Chain A
Amino acid sequence: MTIPPWLDDFLWTYGNLVHALGVNGLLALSMYVVLAVGQLSLGQAAFMGLGAYSSVLMTQQLGLPFWAVLPLSVLAPVVFALVIGLPTLRLSGVYLAIATIGLGEVLRAVYLNVDLFGGALGLSGIPERADNTMIYGLLLAAILALWLVGRSGIGRAMEAMREDETAAAVMGVNLLRYKMGALVASAALAGLAGCLNAHVSSFIGPGEYGFEPAVTILSYALLGGIGTPIASVVGAFILTLLPELLRELSDLRLVLNGVIIVVAVLFLPGGVLPFRLRRRAA
């Protein structure tokens, strides 16, 4: 089958946007996982950065093939999550948020000051290895996995924790184990997203994994809703598409972008898709 030239041009024009939708969907899931156990962690951008930097170094310095790089890209963020998990998960609410922002800033300083990471110049000339099949395959697999977990007993425990930690603990839910599990899963998803993003956009720099992207990732989940995994992905899609759909408006673009988000948050406090996972009665 041959693709007509106009369609080919169309797909090429929005190729990067299509990549970004998938990658941001993965990031939204990474946020969903921690929010689902009632933790406000803002370390997702930092995990993404670890995945991106470690995978690019594996590709550029070690010359590993991408089928090896992609699974290995979860390694650095997961190890990091395990190390920082124990001390930080004793915190909760806004204190955990502040601690995880701090971790992101520490990593940013490391990228800036260690020559291996290219300093402020970042790493450029990354070969294009990832494609839509990989990105959307992983996204679908992640949604499916989280959906199944959510419907199982684990999901029930997670929801109980989100609603009331103390009550959940009294009922016999091992809080630390679930929190740790959620953080590790979140780190792995963000790491994959970082690796995929780096291998479709040819350049990464330390500024892409700081505080601002951390808040953007949080807003994906908040706009979409955290009742189901798919809701946060929808939130990511909306927030990624908006600036490009509004591109024609040039000057008013960012204003309208902001207005739409404010209106959505005001009138849809539970997110765009405020439904909960259905579970059979026990």
Chain B
Amino acid sequence: MNRRHFVAAMAGVMALAGAARAQEPVQLGSIEILSGPNAAYGVAIKAGLELALDEVNAKGVLGGRKINLIVEDSAANKDQAINAARKLIGRDKVVAIIGPTLSNEMFAVGPVANERKIPILGTSTTANGITAMGDYVFRTSLPESDVIPVTLKKAMDRGVKTIALMYANDDAFSKSGYDVMKSAAEKAGLKIVDIESFGSKDSDFSAQLTKIKQLKPDAVGISALVEPVSGVLLAARQLGFGPETLFIGGNGSNSPKLGEIAGKAADGLLVGSPWFVGKPTAVNTKFVADFQKKYSKEPDQFAAQAYDAMKIMAAAIDRAGAAEPAMVRDALMQTKFEGVMGPFSFTTGRDPASAEGVVVLVMQNGKFGIAP
């Protein structure tokens, strides 16, 4: 081989290597709860992410590069969530992270990602103060403070003037939902006649409900996960609460399980939701149909939020022009997206900008429908 051939061959090899690098997948991390009692949330989120990933990778980002999604289990444990984040950032060199599942985990993981300037995008973290942790912490989940006022407004349109509040005081999600419910009720000018708390695993709510019944409020607001909410509703019907008392749920009540557990006892309950399976937009009907085809079950709110988040992230990576965390962060800030949840963009505080997508649902015969 003479020298000219050698140089040409080397150039060819280098060009190939260059092309291969351009085709290298973009590393994207995710931390979700895939084992333990809260695994249902993480598994739904993972399903939503992967469904969106299929669509994204069909076209690719940054001129045809695929996204390689690495999903790590946190087992709802703070330390494991931090370890997962450090592994994703330090070893897998991810360009951004989606997750983790719970607000408590985000409080532990957010500072880690922020320190390394890796954008982190929560899809299900609704507590106050999440995005205040740093410039690299984003979320697509509407905080309860955006959803509950919409629900309360609907209740007031129905003539509600006084309200009693009940909440589970032993989990972060229920407690922060209650804080929001209380301040939103005060702001809306509702009279709070009573506040009662209980434990998430309680099965007897008669003491709290008897007290509330004597005070005859127009409505009862409940912030708790779906199991205790179902228990409260069943107990309330036994104690003689009729349709004259309007029950209002926080985001925890927004689960098809409510109808399965409480049945007719849940009828009439109002709940605000960032998403609804029967939302009649074209993107949403396609999403629900695709989801059913891939997993042969109906998607829930968590899958829907994750589906949008993956598309928002992929679009941001594409817009950034390179798989560089800082550029992806800046591109995320420019997000203008129309997803299954409705129109989406970020505020300067990296929270969802609009609550337009919120729908108020009402329970009827064990199923949610859009409230008239």
B-binding residues in A (CB < 8 A)? 9-10, 12-17, 20, 108, 112-113, 119-122, 124-125, 201-203, 205-208, 243-244, 247, 250-251, 253-254
Contact = CB atoms under 8 A, between A and B. Distances in A.
A20 B104 contact: no
Nearest to A108: B170
B213 interface: no
B172 interface: yes
Interface stretch (B48-56, B80-88, B140-148, B363-371): B80-88
A243 B80 contact: yes
Contacts of A201: 78-79, 82, 108
Contacts of B129: 124
Interface string B41-74: 0000000000000000000000000000000110
Interface residues of B, number: 34
B281 interface: no
Contacts, number: 84
Contacts of A251: 34
Contact of A17 (B83, B104, B127, B174): B83
Contacts of B89: 12-13
B87 A120 contact: no
B111 A202 contact: yes
Contacts of A13: 86-87, 89-91
A235 to B, nearest CB: 17
Nearest to B133: A125
B73 A112 contact: no
Given A112-B169, A120-B170, A202 B108 contact: yes
Nearest to B71: A250
Given A20-B79, A125-B133, A247 B72 contact: yes
B131 interface: no
Nearest to A204: B78
Contacts of A202: 107-108, 111
B73 A121 contact: no
B86 A124 contact: no
Interface in B100-143: 103-104, 107-108, 111-112, 116, 127, 129, 133
Contact of A253 (B73, B79, B176): B73
B171 interface: yes
A207 B104 CA distance: 10
B169 A122 contact: no
Contacts of B73: 250, 253
Given A113-B169, A119-B169, A205 B104 contact: yes
A119 B169 CA distance: 7
Contacts of B171: 120
A12 B108 contact: no
Given A122-B104, A243-B80, A9 B174 contact: no
16 contacts: A12-B89, A14-B83, A14-B90, A16-B82, A20-B83, A112-B169, A120-B170, A120-B172, A121-B176, A124-B129, A125-B111, A203-B108, A207-B104, A208-B78, A251-B34, A254-B75
Contacts of B279: none
B311 interface: no
B372 to A, nearest CB: 35
B216 interface: no
Contacts of B161: none
Contacts of B90: 9-10, 12-14
Contacts of B170: 108, 112, 120, 206
Contacts of B183: none
Nearest to A212: B77
B35 interface: yes
Contacts of A120: 169-176
A12 B82 CA distance: 11
A112 B202 CA distance: 15
Nearest to B93: A9
A203 B169 contact: no
A17 B84 CA distance: 10
Contacts of B112: 16
Contacts of B34: 250-251
A119 B79 contact: no
A199 to B, nearest CB: 13
Contact of B172 (A125, A205, A208, A247): A205
A253 B34 CA distance: 11
Given A16-B79, A121-B104, 9 more contacts: A9-B90, A9-B91, A12-B86, A16-B112, A108-B170, A119-B175, A201-B79, A205-B104, A206-B170
A206 B175 CA distance: 13
Which of A13, A17, A251 counts the most chain B CB atoms within 10 A? Answer: A13
Contact of A124 (B75, B79, B107): B107
B102 to A, nearest CB: 10
A9 B88 CA distance: 11
B80 A203 contact: no
Given A203-B78, A205-B104, A243-B80, A16 B169 contact: no
Top 7 nearest A-B pairs (CB, nearest first) are A13-B90, A124-B107, A120-B175, A203-B107, A203-B108, A120-B172, A16-B82
Contacts of A113: 169
B260 to A, nearest CB: 26
B127 A121 contact: yes
Contacts of A10: 90-91
Interface in B235-253: none
B75 to A, nearest CB: 8
Nearest to A200: B82
A121 B174 CA distance: 9
Nearest to B90: A13
Contacts of B127: 121
Contacts of B72: 247
Interface string B172-215: 11111000000000000000000000000000000000000000
Contacts of B169: 112-113, 119-120
